[in-house]
Amino acid sequence: MKPAPFKYARPGSVDEALALLQAGGDEAKVLAGGQSFVPLLNLRMASVESIVDLNRLDDLAYIKRDNDTLCIGAMTRHRQIEVSAEVRAAQPLLCRAAAEVGHLAIRNRGTIGGSLVHADPAAEWPLVAAALDAQFVLRSQDNSRTIAAREFFLAPLMTAIEPHEILCEVRFPVAPTGAVWGFQELCRRPGDFAIVAIACQLTLDDSGTCSAASLAVGGAHSTPLHVVEVEPIVVGSQGDAAVLTAAAEKAAAAVDPSGDVHGSADYRRRMVKVLTQRALKEAWAQKSAA
């Protein structure tokens, strides 16, 4: 079937983009890196009446630190984050996660904002945003609001963003003193989407005792899942085997995976357990290596 033609606009400012989006109503869509949106159009799985292309908006592509917050503009490409010395110094888990997004060509083009709004439950950015309790700044023509990542993702490919809103900025807390992290991903080939992935951040004191912990699961639930039940198990411990096992069992019990050609629901749940143990072990190993 021949697709219906759509209007195309390439605004020069965020205000202009917001006005175009508002004027286009529910049938207008934003184009960022196009790495998810364009394939959906090509496959006729999505259709639009008008496209608002954000690629000229350099003022949405930045990385800047504001005291204890790392602010990343929504049009920042995955690759810019992966190689940023500023990001590596402030929150190295982000560089690690960025390196796992697809292939280099996709990372050069795709954006953090596009990945978050696309909201694939197996994608790396939603996962680390949930793990680190990131905040998202959304703007519409008349309003600006901030929403927590943990409230943003509603279902696969579904978020709390309104049709006339643009995600403008992603705010991550800078890793506190004593922070260590773990990131584990299972995929069949390098560059594939994760079958299951785990991201965690722990804060350890000089003796290796944990005072704060946060862990999230990707690919095994309808959304990236912050597993709050892991924290009381891990906090106060030094990461002995019994603690890692108990935390992994909690994470596996918290998810509600679906099966597909890449793995059954049961396989995914088992992998959550295995990768949670590995991610926590990886985090504690950073302390020993320091």
Ligand X SMILES: Cc1cc2nc3c(=O)[nH]c(=O)nc-3n(C[C@H](O)[C@H](O)[C@H](O)COP(=O)(O)OP(=O)(O)OC[C@H]3O[C@@H](n4cnc5c(N)ncnc54)[C@H](O)[C@@H]3O)c2cc1C
Residue 180 contacts ligand X per CB under 6 A: no
Other C-beta atoms lying within 10 Å of the C-beta of residue 59: 12
Please report where in the chains the tokens 């260590």 appear, as a residue.
180
The CB-side HSE value for 33 (13 A sphere, CA atoms) comes to 23
**Which of positions 36-55 make contact with ligand X (CB under 6 A)?**
36-37, 39
Distance CA 230, CA 201 (A): 12
Using CB under 6 A, pick the residue from 61, 90, 98, 117 that binds ligand X.
Answer: 117
70 or 101, CB closer to ligand X? 101
Q: Which of 70, 122 has the CB closer to ligand X? A: 122
Given the complex with ligand X, which of 104 and 228 has the nearer CB atom? 104
By DSSP bridging, strand 28-31 and strand 50-53 are parallel
By the rule CB under 6 A, 113 interacts with ligand X? yes
Q: Is 81 in the site for ligand X (CB under 6 A)?
A: no
Q: Is 163 in the site for ligand X (CB under 6 A)?
A: no
Q: Which of 11, 29, 197, 227 binds ligand X (CB under 6 A)?
A: 29
Out of 80, 91, 111, 276, which residue is the one contacting ligand X (CB under 6 A)? 111
Determine if 124 is a binding residue for ligand X (CB under 6 A): yes
Least distance (Å) between residue 219 CB and ligand X: 10
Q: Where are the beta strands (DSSP E) in the chain?
A: 7-9, 28-31, 50-53, 63-66, 69-73, 135-139, 144-148, 153-155, 158-159, 166-173, 179-186, 196-204, 210-218, 225-226
- Of 88-96, 112-120, 140-148, 250-258, the segment contacting ligand X by CB under 6 A is 112-120
Determine, following the binding rule CB under 6 A, whether residue 123 of this chain makes contact with ligand X. yes
Closest CA to 147 of 121, 119, 120: 119
d(CA 30, CA 37): 9
Closer residue to ligand X, CB minimum distance, 74 or 254: 74
Task: Measure the CA–CA gap between 46 and 123, rounded to whole angstroms.
Answer: 19
List residues binding ligand X (CB under 6 A): 29-37, 39, 74, 101-102, 106, 110-111, 113-115, 117-118, 123-124, 161, 166-167, 193
